Homo-oligomer: A and B are copies of this chain.
Amino acid sequence: MSKTEITIYKIGGGIIDDAAELSKFLQLLAGTSGLKLLVHGGGKGASTMMRELGLVPQLINGRRVTDAATLDIVVMFYAGKTNKQVVAALQQLGVNALGLSGADGNVLQGTKRPVKDIDYGFVGDLTSASVNAAFLQQLLKAGITPVLCPIIHDGSGHLLNTNADTIASAVAVALAGEFDVTLHYCFEKNGVLRDINNEQSVIAEINSDSYAVLKQQGVIADGMLPKLENAFAALNSGVRKVIIGHALNIGSDLHTVLCLK
């Protein structure tokens, strides 16, 4: 018997910070068929509020250092404002959405990142083993669309700020046993570009062979490299397809499809 298909969409800060674009994306999402799950990232709102409160946001290598005061704010923003606004908007569009932090239903239990050179504070690491796949399956089978925010818990009463890309791939891998999983990363470009300055130069498909060539040619470099490494790691762990494209192109064919072979 073939597995039921599910698409896991991940949206980042750029689209969350743009109310009009977020609204368009959610309409497109509501129009897609089949089971779905949404993971959303943070956005700039938390940093803006921190500054208004006299706190100084700290980033190291693009990652937020999360002390106790920062954690309070990001939990409020990500699990509170953003998550509930997205859920209410989806409900209006007829999608029975349910917002979740990792603590809710123990859906994502990870560990606080160990301090090595840098102390990132209340930041969580997780793997696909951290995902309560049985509970997500129950929700999906009940017709619910889970909406995950980038806050997890450690099982000892602490909330942890976590990267949304990592959550999306961990959830995709965890659900791959039961479902035929497509992991759809939405970002601000149309896909993986052959020429970074040309939005029309989207590479339609990359498989493991052509990926090796593109890396060698230097077409894939910089910020795109870790994204694709993570994508191929997910594919090697049972995810059928990874899509990278613009949030407002979901449902269309303008994007890059990554697959094995």
Contacts and interface: CB of A to CB of B under 8 A. Distances in A.
Interface of A: 49, 52-53, 72, 75-81, 83-85, 87-89, 91-92, 96-101, 103-106, 109, 135, 138, 142, 144, 151, 153, 155-159
A133 to B, nearest CB: 14
Contacts of A101: 84, 87, 99
Contacts of A92: 155-157
Contact of A84 (B103, B105, B156): B103
Contacts of A157: 88-89, 91-92
Contact of A105 (B76, B83, B96): B96
Given A79-B84, A84-B159, A138-B142, A153 B91 contact: yes
Contacts of A72: 81
19 contacts: A49-B53, A53-B53, A75-B80, A75-B81, A76-B76, A76-B80, A77-B80, A78-B80, A80-B84, A84-B101, A87-B104, A91-B106, A91-B109, A92-B155, A96-B105, A96-B106, A99-B104, A135-B142, A138-B142
A52 B153 CA distance: 28
A132 to B, nearest CB: 10
A91 to B, nearest CB: 5
